[in-house]
Amino acid sequence: MIPDAAGVNLLPEGVQKANEFASKKPMLLVAVACLALAPLPVFLSFQQANAACSAELRTIREAIVPLQSNQAAIRENREQAELAAQSIQLVEGLVNSKANWIQFFAELQKSLHDAKDVWLDQLKVVRDTPEGGAPSYEVLVEGQMLVREASNSSSGIDQEALFDRIKGLQSSFENSEFVVFSKSPVITWTSLRDGLNVLPFSINLVVDTAKPL
């Protein structure tokens, strides 16, 4: 008789291991289920975070749309304001130029009146903007001076006195605030030699570019 026979397992070892595994199988299934369900909270949390981010992104995009529209309107308004400013500057320039011309003509008229027996036939504006150089602005005045002395008189004509009169007129022109200086006058003496009692002349007045006409 085998002692303590109740504690002896007569089943083959392979069967014993199979039975032992079968007894542990429910626990393994529970463990596998736990492992399978372990990422679920993380996944659910990620989905919630992703949904929250998507909702926030939609909110931001919805908020950006009117801002983009406002930005386009601001850009358009700025461009219109710049165009308006340019137009205003142009109009102001024309107004200032017109006022300057009126004043300049008044100064020329006074100089002619003071010189007596002198008038202008033509006035030309000469503008030059050389490449890489400073712009120049000149006003060419052409006129005539009445010579009361007869060219065929015995005393003759005092050309020096006539030249001084034209030089005096030139100096009077230079007193204008728009004129920087003037070039030497060009006098046509041949008119007197032809028996005419008028003396044509021309004077180039260099205008101040800071006070354009």
Whether residue 129 is predicted with pLDDT greater than 70 in this model: the reply is yes
Instruction: Report d(CA 203, CA 169) in Å as an integer.
Output: 10
pLDDT at 154: 42
pLDDT at 185: 93
Average pLDDT over residues 98-115: 90
Average pLDDT over residues 119-125: 91
Whether residue 138 is predicted with pLDDT greater than 50 in this model: the reply is yes
- For residue 178, the Cα-to-chain-centroid distance in whole angstroms is 29
User: What stretch of H or E contains 48?
Assistant: helix 39-115
The larger pLDDT score, comparing residue 146 to residue 152, is at: 146
pLDDT at 168: 94
Decide if 162 contacts 147 (C-beta within 8 A).
yes
pLDDT at 2: 47
Instruction: Report d(CA 126, CA 182) in Å as an integer.
Output: 13
**Average per-residue pLDDT for the chain:** 75
Q: What is the pLDDT of residues 55-99, one digit of tens each?
A: 777 777 777 777 666 777 777 777 776 766 665 555 555 556 778
Which amino acid, one-letter code, is at 141?
A: V
Portion of the chain with pLDDT greater than 90, in percent: 25
